[in-house]
Structure 1
């Protein structure tokens, strides 16, 4: 769903930082070979993730939902020199695809892939994070949030993707639409949780920036 016209979206991309060459290649190959390529963050959102990471300068980053690794590489652009990015996904068939691009980047040795359910993996990570990006199954957003808040340093940032869910968050809720139901609860939780402060940005399908107090 386009929240602004395609013409304006094109203008925005043309007046934002260009897509790095490696990410352009990853973008292209994802569309050529991988199912559901629209899940890719893409040029504009990728530059937003990169800019936010550069402003935050995180030491340790956690990503929930790797897909083909595009967002992970964008987040690495702002990572401290001795930092690490841990990324979790359940799709075994994408691990080698991700690793190919991770290893072509400057951060290959700093990116740790975790294969499995994020709910099981997160408690095993003995780290404090400065930046977390949630972009996985919407039904578990609330569960992920509660698991990661204690693992984030004070002042750390949680980025949550797809929080507008193609506009369904302002439409009548369908009885069997669990994803929208959970996202409505999630957005409300972030806005009311005294442990954090939140702003919801209308970027692509909605991106929430949440700061841990």
Structure 2
């Protein structure tokens, strides 16, 4: 991130409601104990997830790609009474860390963790979703979108992370991963079932609302 953009990001974070102490602890432990802490939802993006969850008021939400649980906790903090977030993580080595912080946040009754591949688990979830966060393997974005779109209620929101891919989607020559992200963005733009807004927050967040 360029210095000016980094300064703007930090200024925005400093003038936003701060994350809870539990999220601060999770941030520190993620940086200490994982090889790719940059995969974690950042504080500003986490607050966006929390706000959207509060606005949408989902009774049933879905997250694809839990990592260490930062985003899941943010979404769950915004759920209405009785709301539940189903979150899917394929890396079983992260389970202890995820459950540790879900428990610390007092959200055991609001977050249900599913361990395994999203393409195996989603077809087994017999729910209608009001809010979906897609943040799993970038090569699988199109697959995950196709798996969830028919399970999303009219008016429901789908959020997709990392859709700018460090800005490489704007380059004329694209590597394989960048091309897949670009093709996914093009797919959303052309989907008549939805309206969409791509925001340049962190590495890009696509907000999609089903008609």
TMscore range, shorter length: over 0.9
Correspondence for 1:71: 71
- Shift of the 172–117 alpha-carbon distance from structure 1 to 2, 3 Å rule, reads same
Corresponding residue SS for 2:109: helix
Corresponding residue SS for 1:82: coil
**Which 5+ residue runs of structure 1 have no aligned equivalent?**
none
> C-alpha distance in 1, partners of 2:15/2:109?
33
Q: In the alignment, is the contact (CA less than 8 A) between 2:54 and 2:80 conserved in 1?
A: no
Corresponding residue SS for 2:120: helix
Alignment of 1:90-129 (within 5 A): 90-129=90-129
Q: TM-score, normalised by structure 2?
A: 0.96
1:159-210 residue CA offsets vs partner (Å, 9 max, x unmatched):
0000000011011334xx3221111111011111000000000000000000
Corresponding residue SS for 1:108: coil
> C-alpha distance in 1, partners of 2:127/2:2?
38
Correspondence for 2:50: 50
**TM superposition shift of 1:10:** 1.4
- Shift of the 3–195 alpha-carbon distance from structure 1 to 2, 3 Å rule, reads farther
> C-alpha distance in 1, partners of 2:168/2:206?
16
How many equivalent residue pairs?
Answer: 211
> C-alpha distance in 2, partners of 1:122/1:50?
23
Q: TM-score, normalised by structure 1?
A: 0.96
Alignment of 1:1-213 (within 5 A): 1-2=1-2, 5-174=5-174, 177-213=175-211
Q: Which moved more, 1:106-115 or 1:122-131?
A: 106-115
**Which 5+ residue runs of structure 2 have no aligned equivalent?**
none
Runs of 4+ in 1 over 3 A off after TM superposition: 1-4
